[in-house]
Structure 1
Amino acid sequence: MSKSVSHTSTLTADVLVHNVRLVRAPSVSEQSWAVVENASVAWQQGKFIYVGSTEHAPKIEAGEVIDGQQQWLTPGLIDCHTHLVYGGNRADEFEQLQNGVRYEDIARAGGGIKSTVAATRALTEDELYESARLRLLPLIHEGVTTVEIKSGYGLNIESELKMLRVIKRLNTELPVTVSATCLAAHAVPAEYLGRDDEYLDLIINELLPLVKAEGLAQAVDVFCESIAFSAEQSKRLFRAAKDLGFAIKGHVEQLSDSQGTEAVCEYQGLSADHVEYVSEGQVKKMAAANVTAVILPGAFYFLKETQKPPIELFRTHQVPMAIATDLNPGSSPLGSLLTAANFGCVLFGFTPFEAFNGITVNAAAALGLANQKGRIEVGYDADCLLFACEHPRQLIHEINLHRPTQSWHLGKERPNL
């Protein structure tokens, strides 16, 4: 267990939380719950400075001392794949799906992503912000302290920038760390129908330099699929994004083997997301390139898919697995990360321990934050939660029965929003 000083030293902390049962997100080599009974943690200026047993703690002088009353202290939750900024809703398409229409057919008929594009373009920035804020609040209430949000429903320069500015505003105005991803290559807009490469040129030559200049995103993503962009087009986008200093992510192998995973690995991407149709050869490349598999059971559930991601192959080749909500208006209107974790267990065979790692330490890796978030360790951000349950496995097992009794983001207690 990490300690920063000897027993004879005195630490000065902003906050000391004692009398807790501590569950850290463990390192990859650990294969069981990393639990410390009768633990204490302390932080100063938003970073943990002591994590360990109360018995072995140094003297800690804190501005605020909190008795955790033997509750469980966990890392803040991380939702590493969402699309929660958008206009309108797609409940009508859900009804079509229930009547047997395939998602691919809805998309080709102008529905899916493209129907949301029209609604998103029509909203002002303030309107878009307010609708997104209302979707983000349930995640915050459940304990999410870090969330990734993608653009991708604007599909032109003006509206993509509008979305990314809303995402930046959410990061500024709400007590949550927001990682922004530019997903302008989500679909080909109607005005570029049949001119995929021209639209890609627009993204590469005009949009991405503007996004970089305004500091509006940390990563660039692409939907590599038969109804969107090819692997070669994805590589062209990734080359330009890397040259500008963006991290790489990919929506890959969701509906077919489109070789998008190879593109992500070739350009040292942070994560390959969906990956239902990924092959063992692709999994080996992910392991070699240290690419995290982001598993999205919400889309699998809502689309009634049958092809499951190869969880056992990821285990065999030691590819880290994250779980995210994929919160979006059509294929995964899911605003609960703990429910997504439960789906990962029930639908795909995750263990509760793996699912907990998937929404903490591995989710941090998927965002390039592995040395900063997702674990309760000295030097990490003081993002943590108190839960009144008998064991943290209940958070994964029991749907909609748990909320943190207290929640901290960067060392500051979060208010009831």
Structure 2
Amino acid sequence: MPILQNISILYTCRDEGGQPDIHPIENAAIAWVDDKIEWVGKKSELPEKYQSAETFDAGGKIVIPGLVDCHTHLCFGGWRADEFEMRIQGRSYLEIAKAGGGILSTVKATRKASEDELFEKAAGLLDEIHRQGVTAIECKSGYGLSLDDELKQLRVYRRLKKESPVHIATTFLGAHTFPPEYKENRQGYIDLIINEMIPAVAEENLAEFCDIFVEESAFTIDEARTIFEAGKKHGLTPKLHADQLSSGGGAELAAEVGAVSADHLEQISDEGIRQMSEKGVIGVTLPLASLYTQQPYLNCRKLVNGGVEVAVATDFNPGSAPTFDLSLAMMLTCNHGRLTPAEVLKGATIYAAKAINRDKTLGSIVPGKSADFLIIDAENVNEWLYHYRGSRMTFGFLKGKRFN
């Protein structure tokens, strides 16, 4: 029954209230049993039964919930550093794709890699991510684009769940783009997703969510709707890559199909904001993708003012967001997304947990939830994100166990 004390400010980040409400407690303490939080409050109010418990000292620093990265593409073959230079030189996405780059470049490398090779790489990346303070993560497939290779990616995540302490949510993204062998047969690939991929994913219980890249260059609204219907029949909850490059009605589709989240949204319409708010769809901002692709950032303020809860994630992938620094994504959401540090912290904790249907067990420091929290070397949340120096985590706890 350990306790953490000498906390200057504890940001509990409960779900109550709006985006800026992170429910701070000064001079706080936390008590937990095994992997669950049992008591939270002011140190002066700590119940007698905890007085002789094992004690950890926060050193007068702030404490926040473990960070939740609710949108990543963790498992992939190869890298695409050459595209970084090409993009800086002004080459367009289409030009890069014609030169052999883009998503299909990663598809080729992922297909070539064995499951063991992909697992070793993903496990190493996940360990680095965890050391930055991420205690829960969402991981997508989408670089296989064939039955065997999509299952290969998802099986990597299943192995990670067994071997890593990090909470992992898994998403099937077979509808990422069209593979080269189906370039002239869109319906053939959609049939493969619906009739073979989704049933196989469900049979092995390899994913909770079905994601689709809805965009002019990828899948249409009608195609996505059909795939989502098939996914829901097999118990997969919808998620969307929506309105990233054009305002194509992705946000509205997210509301229509009951998606848990719609991600990107840089070109979201006012009607899309209204419908997402009405249906309670979480909006996920991915500012690292805007940073690397030199595209406009999502105006998160517009979503929050419209009643949409906004989560913050990295979109970590080898092409458009090749960094997993969630703290950097949080700082960019302040500077370019126009959210305050408090609003961003809520977006990377409880709202991110909601975006992966984990808000009942993760994302805030309250009794009954997983004992996941970080000690941050900062005066307060404003100073933390203002003076950006990476995660600034001194140490943390995941499922009640300390890590550095």
Tell me the TM-score normalized by structure 1: 0.92
- Residue 27 (structure 1) aligns with: 15
Q: What is the rounded CA distance, in whole Å, between the counterparts of 1:126 and 1:394 in structure 2?
A: 42
Q: Which blocks of at least 5 consecutive residues in structure 1 are unaligned?
A: 1-13
1:402-417 to 2 correspondences below 5 Å = 402-414=391-403, 416=404
Q: What is the rounded CA distance, in whole Å, between the counterparts of 2:301 and 2:389 in structure 1?
A: 28
Structure 2 counterpart of 1:341, one-letter code: M
Q: What is the rounded CA distance, in whole Å, between the counterparts of 1:362 and 1:274 in structure 2?
A: 15
For residues 361-409 of structure 1, the C-alpha deviation after alignment (integer angstroms, 9 at most, x for no partner) is 1111111112211100111111111123211333322333443222111
For residue 407 of structure 1, give the secondary structure of its aligned residue in structure 2: strand
- Residue 3 (structure 2) aligns with: 16
CA shift, 1:110, in A, is 4.5
- Asked if the contact 2:69/2:136 (under 8 Å) is kept, the reply is yes
For residues 39-60 of structure 1, the C-alpha deviation after alignment (integer angstroms, 9 at most, x for no partner) is 1111123111101112222223
CA shift, 1:28, in A, is 4.8
Q: What is the rounded CA distance, in whole Å, between the counterparts of 2:189 and 2:320 in structure 1?
A: 24
- Residue 304 (structure 1) aligns with: 294
1:335-346 to 2 correspondences below 5 Å = 335-346=324-335
Structure 1 counterpart of 2:211, one-letter code: D
CA shift, 1:345, in A, is 1.4
- With over 3 angstroms needed to count, the CA separation of the structure-2 counterparts of 1:264 and 1:109, relative to structure 1, is farther
For residue 265 of structure 1, give the secondary structure of its aligned residue in structure 2: helix
Q: Which runs of 4+ in 1 moved over 6 A?
A: none
For residues 103-125 of structure 1, the C-alpha deviation after alignment (integer angstroms, 9 at most, x for no partner) is 24433664210000000011111
- Asked if the contact 1:356/1:396 (under 8 Å) is kept, the reply is no
Structure 1 counterpart of 2:27, one-letter code: N
- Residue 7 (structure 1) aligns with: none
- Residue 57 (structure 1) aligns with: 46
Aligned pair count reads 401
- Residue 317 (structure 1) aligns with: 306
1:243 has 2:243 as partner: no
Q: What is the rounded CA distance, in whole Å, between the counterparts of 2:53 and 2:107 in structure 1?
A: 49
Structure 2 counterpart of 1:408, one-letter code: F
1:369 has 2:358 as partner: yes
- Residue 115 (structure 1) aligns with: 105
- With over 3 angstroms needed to count, the CA separation of the structure-2 counterparts of 1:401 and 1:93, relative to structure 1, is closer
Tell me the TM-score normalized by structure 2: 0.95
1:160-175 to 2 correspondences below 5 Å = 160-175=150-165
Structure 2 counterpart of 1:231, one-letter code: I
Q: What is the rounded CA distance, in whole Å, between the counterparts of 1:334 and 1:400 in structure 2?
A: 15
Root-mean-square deviation over aligned CA pairs: 1.6
1:385 has 2:374 as partner: yes
CA shift, 1:239, in A, is 0.6
- Residue 356 (structure 1) aligns with: 345
- Residue 98 (structure 1) aligns with: 88
For residues 271-311 of structure 1, the C-alpha deviation after alignment (integer angstroms, 9 at most, x for no partner) is 000001110101010001100110011111111113x4242
Q: Which moved more, 1:389-398 or 1:103-112?
A: 103-112
Q: What is the rounded CA distance, in whole Å, between the counterparts of 1:388 and 1:253 in structure 2?
A: 37
Q: Which moved more, 1:54-63 or 1:133-142?
A: 54-63
- Residue 159 (structure 1) aligns with: 149
- Residue 130 (structure 2) aligns with: 140
For residues 22-77 of structure 1, the C-alpha deviation after alignment (integer angstroms, 9 at most, x for no partner) is 11114352535522122111112311110111222222347632232322221000
Q: What is the rounded CA distance, in whole Å, between the counterparts of 1:127 and 1:27 in structure 2?
A: 39
For residues 211-269 of structure 1, the C-alpha deviation after alignment (integer angstroms, 9 at most, x for no partner) is 11212111010001111100011101111111111111000100112222222111111
- Residue 275 (structure 1) aligns with: 265
- Asked if the contact 1:82/1:328 (under 8 Å) is kept, the reply is yes
For residues 138-188 of structure 1, the C-alpha deviation after alignment (integer angstroms, 9 at most, x for no partner) is 321110000111000000011111101111222221221111100010010
- Residue 233 (structure 1) aligns with: 223
- With over 3 angstroms needed to count, the CA separation of the structure-2 counterparts of 1:293 and 1:401, relative to structure 1, is closer
From 22, 29, 43, the counterpart of 2:32: 43
